A and B are shown apart, each in its own frame.
Chain A
């Protein structure tokens, strides 16, 4: 296949698609360091503790990977929906419902073995898809803003999970479910569960679907311009609904994998909490690129597991990690918007032309 010739502008845009998130991460880390410094602690010691705590040994790396695994799914969930112009903020609810359905099927039917594992994963996907379908129907039939409905459904899912772990399948009245039987858990590979590999493979698969298939093209077209898509004869409503369903299913699968793969293999308070918004952040930082989402999810995993170590070494609350995350997304959003501003665009174009000429001369 002949290499596609990119215009100067496209080349510039691509460069900024990669550059902006990287610069945002660096800036956020610098601001984070300033905050740590203002508290009278040494940021360099803190950051090295963070790296040590997240990537210092095989066990720590696998812990980081396990932490990043659900974020890959909620991130992909957000990416897929936004590619179709749907702002799904319900990743958390869909993730939780996936976990609930998996628990209900395995614990309710009392099954175990690989069959139960497959059944559990399927139940998670279906439940997530249904939880994604609901706001989709509401958007298409009644024109409701999906941002509000998905958030409301997050809370409904959260309380439903409370019912599952407190009433339905409670472990001797304690606020947690009975653990998933050993034989129905995801197998371990290289010190981590196989879900991590599924997540990465799945991310590449989603990238392929979005950027290399005609279905993905239609999804993107609807996201960019629904009216033009309708003029072209694309079934816009069906595609939007499908985007909701698929995005929900991805999050639901994530919930099932989290339950079946990660200790303690049970539902309890806090399961999936915050993963939905983290997914949104990941999608936005990754510029809606599924492969990028995997990378950003891994970064978030490093921040989370390393944050605990940083707290114990220099005594800065782990919430600093949340601030750094928030800063990354703000810088990324502001950065992407500012390179599109007419004035800055013109400036960058002349600057880009100069560097390109310099490259050609060299």
Chain B
């Protein structure tokens, strides 16, 4: 294979694959910084993908689709928040419940929306905006500077989130809740409120990541469109060591594997392409095996917070 010739294709597919991971894992970063491990990302993404698709198609306004999709993601994640924060349920179990419940709603909605009406099956896509000058840089120009606006927004979020967690009072409160909620409470931080806010942000961003799939990646919704990306996003957070910049790097890396898969499939159509399709999943595991262990996240991650407990 002529590697240099396919490199732009790979890089283009890389950024396309990286954006949903980036959005979703930034959402998960908020959640985990507040001590909530949300493994329900897969489900929230499915909801975001479907609602974004359906509303975008129905109204013809893709941005409205994105917004309503994000609102739906927040709504679903409020279930998670209520169960884990207010009822102190096990976070993993609740996340799994979301993973089972949310795609079911999306599938039900899809059956109602499309069903016999196949006109609704294909939505429209956001146009990509090429930044003059920058987009003609060889190799990387097309990949990074010819994106949809949503993708640019996702990349712009990275420094903002990073700055928020390092320099903002609210960001520091988030981190203290994730490290030691009891100490945070004694400092006058409303732990429960912070956790709910984290869930709102997480739901919105994860749903935006899902909506990217139907609004920018492919113009259709199918059951299981998320294809494990919610779990890869979890790996992205671990691999990015719970920092926004790290997450950017990690999602580009995982996006690269996705891009490699796409490029190889295009290159060797006669070969058993299913082995190429395994690439993102296999390399996620390999990346975690070599670089993803022994780095624990926020200390109070995954533990329920009983306010009265001493």
Contacts and interface: CB of A to CB of B under 8 A. Distances in A.
B282 interface: yes
Contacts of B100: 277-278, 280-281, 322, 325-326, 329
Chain A, interface size: which category? Answer: 35 or more
Q: Chain A binding site: helix, strand, loop or mixed by DSSP?
A: helix
Contacts of A326: 97, 100-102, 104-105
Contacts of A87: 92
B264 interface: no
Contacts of A149: 285, 288
Nearest to B84: A337
Contacts of A144: 285, 288-289, 292-293
A278 B228 CA distance: 16
Nearest to A78: B96
Interface stretch (B14-22, B128-136, B190-198, B269-277): B269-277
Q: Describe B's contact surface by its main secondary structure.
A: helix
A152 B236 CA distance: 13
Nearest to B98: A330
Interface in A146-180: 147-149, 151-156, 159-160, 162-163, 166-167
Contact of B275 (A138, A142, A159, A320): A159
Contacts of B292: 142, 144
Contact of B278 (A145, A160, A327, A333): A160
A152 B97 contact: no
A275 B227 CA distance: 15
A111 interface: no
Nearest to B238: A145
A334 interface: yes
B88 A148 contact: no
A233 interface: no
A314 interface: no
Contacts of B82: 334
Interface string A320-356: 1011011101100110111011100000000000000
A142 B287 CA distance: 12
A219 interface: no
Contact of B93 (A163, A325, A333): A333
Contact of A334 (B89, B235, B288, B294): B89
A97 B229 CA distance: 22
Contacts of A318: 111
B39 interface: yes
Interface string A281-316: 100100000000000000000000000000000000
Contacts of B288: 138, 142, 144, 148-149
Nearest to B95: A147
B308 interface: yes
A164 B272 CA distance: 10
A341 B272 CA distance: 53
Given A149-B288, A319-B108, A284 B274 contact: no
Contacts of A280: 96, 100
A319 B105 CA distance: 8
Given A323-B104, A323-B108, A326-B97, A154 B92 contact: no
A110 interface: no
Nearest to A327: B101
A145 B96 CA distance: 15
A87 B100 CA distance: 15
B166 to A, nearest CB: 26
29 contacts: A138-B288, A142-B293, A144-B285, A144-B293, A148-B232, A148-B235, A148-B238, A148-B284, A151-B228, A152-B285, A155-B228, A163-B274, A166-B274, A167-B272, A277-B96, A280-B96, A284-B97, A317-B108, A319-B107, A322-B107, A323-B105, A327-B101, A330-B97, A334-B83, A334-B89, A337-B83, A337-B90, A338-B87, A341-B87
Interface of A: 39, 87, 89, 138, 142-145, 147-149, 151-156, 159-160, 162-163, 166-167, 277-278, 280-281, 284, 317-320, 322-323, 325-327, 329-330, 333-334, 336-338, 340-342
Given A138-B288, A142-B293, 19 more contacts: A39-B112, A143-B294, A144-B288, A147-B92, A147-B231, A151-B228, A152-B232, A155-B277, A156-B278, A156-B281, A159-B275, A159-B278, A280-B100, A281-B96, A284-B97, A317-B111, A317-B112, A325-B104, A340-B88
